[in-house]
Amino acid sequence: MADSFVLSNGQIIPGIGFGTSRVSQLTISQADMRDVIFDALESGYRHFDTAHAYRTESALGEALQDAIIYNKVSRSELYITTKLPTYHMRKDHVVSSLRESLKNLRIDYIDLYLVHVPASIKVESEYIPYPSCSSDDYDYPDIIDTWREMEKLVDAGLARAIGLSNFNASQVERIDNNARIKPVVNQIECHAYLQQNKLVDVCKRRNISVTAYAPLGSPGLQIRNNGRYWDLFEEPVILKIAKCHQRTPAQICLRHLLQRGLILIPKTENTDRMRLNLEIKNFSLTKQEMEKLSKLDSNKRIFSFNGMKDHPEYPFKDPY
């Protein structure tokens, strides 16, 4: 499996990135987050995923600027993704929102800019997934109009590529059918409990790569299901395969997705796990092991954006 993927616009994206959304859910200072980014750079990460709504752009920008100044890395080696927040989707907000993110990140252009969620709200929310939103907070810009403004960002050189996040199959098709500049990525929740095969297939048929967020099932969130915690790392089939390959359960979960051709953005603040998450390229799962892992799929969604469930663009009403 290649270390990198070639997107439909010819851009090369590292296959394993570093996610930074956790800081919006845990108590961690900007200085501590900056140190986490430094650790990730030292571990070998060059692809970083953030978003305006995560409140991590500034910490990421500070860390990367320092790394560049001290010749730890060059800008051309880095691949940075951020996202248009759902509260900036009106077409007169798109350009200014990216400019704000670029200022936070201390860079002149973004490698990949995603529409974070297809449903829009009027006011800035404290965090994803907006659990406290109500219909009074909803906004209704046409997402095709939003996409037209996204295309202008590429024309202006502010974004090298544009894409989607949390879009369902019909929404992906609607954007793709109306796009002058095609989306290169759809970033979706994807892990062994939520494998999203139909949505992945739709994206791949349209030459849209898929990035998996929460690829380990977000064990730190302590999600309960039928009275017990969801924990991929305790699944007997994963433990058995991990023992066979002398790998960790996390490495098996990540390798399963990478072998399906997905880009991954795991997140951790532990330096040992940072390194281990990268060390999944020099072994392969057998066809039989892949089939066993596929049977864990049970449509268990962690990030359901429940506050948006009555919005007409809520992405999870459709089967996929």
> Which residues on neighbouring strands pair with residue 77, listed in sequence order?
none
Instruction: State how far the Cα of 165 lies from the Cα of 158, in Å rounded to an integer.
Output: 19
237: its two tokens: 């089939």
Q: Is 314 considered catalytic here? A: no
Instruction: State how far the Cα of 11 lies from the Cα of 4, in Å rounded to an integer.
Output: 10
Residue 120's SS3 state is: strand
Which one of the listed residues 54, 113, 138, 314 is annotated catalytic? 54
CB 245 within 8 A of CB 279: no
116: its two tokens: 């974070």
Residue 163's SS3 state is: strand
CB 141 within 8 A of CB 91: yes
186 DSSP 8-state letter: E
* Phi, psi dihedral angles at 217 (to 5 degrees): 80, 15
Which residues does the annotation mark as catalytic? 54
